[in-house]
Amino acid sequence: MNTAAPVPAPASLADSALPAGGIFAALRWSLVRDLKVAMRSRSELGVQLLFYIIVVSLFPLASNPERTLLAAIGPGVLWVAALLASLLSLPRLFAGDYGDGTLEQIALSPHPLEALVSGKILAHWLTAGLPVTLLAPLLGIQYAMDGESLAVLAAALLIGTPILSLLGGIGAALTLGLRGGGSLLALLILPLYVPVLIFGAGAVEAVRAGLGATANLSLLGAGLLVAMVGAPFAAAAAVRIALD
């Protein structure tokens, strides 16, 4: 006679894994969980930051060392490198949980999937976007950028990199489980990143031209608000489609 205890249904597993509470409790649980998972693979985080540092540092070596030229190309290089570093880490946003079945259990929980997805996206930004933002002013010194330009660059990245994570979350969910999803993810997301890149690098250029960065930073802020409202719902809908 088989006396083994019955395996609980996926829904009950999801219920026991998540805390009781509303949207913010679900968001906090997802954020803390993904940060713990990220800290277990510090090597991946280190590779991403090393990639960013190497890409940014190679351009001054390969270009004319004149200060005016370096200051002109610096904001664009730093933003493109930040964009690529964010893109490099996007496949791990949902893929690990999808592969071991955890994502399905999370989706079956009574908690809002949009809040759980928001927590995962926030964890991605804290481990991918925020370190890049903090490193950018230090790396910008290589490009002979003055203090005001470095401050505006940091502010633009602080506003713009969350947009990269939010839009990237949509792309990562849309390509979930697809063969060659990494290449398809880049094709889907890079065109959406272009306005963020333009306004982010343009903020520093506006300061250098004496026009002020208010307009560019305001547009980035508006884009962040729109992405914060729409991206979690779009990403959650794409996750549901991938799990069906």
Residue range 73-124, pLDDT digits in tens: 899 999 999 999 988 888 888 888 888 888 888 888 888 899 999 999 999 9
What pLDDT does residue 9 have? 37
> How much is the pTM?
0.86
**Rg for the chain (alpha carbons), in Å?**
20
Q: Which two tokens stand for residue 177?
A: 């489980």
Mean pLDDT of the 36-46 span? 84
Q: What average pLDDT does range 206-233 have in this prediction? A: 92
User: pLDDT for 121-142, tens place per residue?
Assistant: 999 999 999 999 999 999 999 9
Cα gap 27→232, rounded to integer Å: 11
- Domain boundaries of the chain, sorted by first residue: 21-243
Nearest to 170 by CA among 233, 119, 108: 233
In whole angstroms, what is the distance from residue 7 CA to residue 145 CA?
61
Q: Which residues of 31-59 are buried (b: 16+ CB within 10 A; e: fewer)?
A: bebbeebbeeeeeeeeebbeebbebbeeb
Q: Higher model confidence: residue 18 or residue 145? A: 145
Q: Are 103 and 94 in contact (CB under 8 A)?
A: yes
CB 15 within 8 A of CB 9: no
Residue 169: what pLDDT? 93
Greatest C-alpha distance within the chain: 83
Confidence band, pLDDT 50/70/90 cuts, at residue 43: confident
Residue type (1 letter), 66? E
